Amino acid sequence: MTASAVFFLIMGVGLIFLPEEIGSLLSGSSAVSAIVLQLAGATYFGFAMINWGAKGVLLGGIYGRPITAGNFAHLLVGTITLVKAAFGAEGYYLWILGACYGVFAIWFGLALYTHPKDAQ
């Protein structure tokens, strides 16, 4: 949970405070894309706060399952989207980001679909 919280925090703070720079890196900057990137940054920041607060919770248990399911859904869709986009993009940054997403998606998927007693 701590690693995912730090990962989302870095993504969120970067998108909140540097949306134009990141937007121009990705495609081309516009006012609308800067707003969308800042909203995405707010979402990442929210995930970071949730994951940081839940780092002591038993994942997959009755109270930790919604946190695990939300993280897994976000990371799985993000992995698929990033890998699909990486095939048509120049550079390697989408591959690296997709790999990070994939590692966290696998981890949260295992936490979601494995009984907590089996993991101990």
Full domain range(s) for residue 114: 58-120
Q: How confident is the model at residue 91 (pLDDT cuts 50, 70, 90)?
A: confident
Overall number of domains in the chain: 2
pLDDT of residue 36: 79
Residues 2, 48, single domain; the answer is: yes
Residues 79, 44, single domain; the answer is: no
Residues 1, 38, single domain; the answer is: yes
Residues 51, 63, single domain; the answer is: no
Task: For residue 105, give the H/E element and its range.
Answer: helix 93-113
Residues 64, 35, single domain; the answer is: no
Residues 83, 46, single domain; the answer is: no
Question: Per-residue pLDDT tens for 35-61?
Answer: 778 888 889 899 999 999 988 888 877
Q: What are the phi and psi torsion angles at 54 (to 5°)?
A: -100, 15
Question: Per-residue pLDDT tens for 12-27?
Answer: 898 888 888 887 777 7
| Strongest mean pLDDT among 36-45, 57-66, 91-100 | 91-100
Residues 52, 1, single domain; the answer is: yes
pLDDT of residue 32: 57
Q: How confident is the model at residue 106 (pLDDT cuts 50, 70, 90)?
A: very high
Residues 64, 104, single domain; the answer is: yes
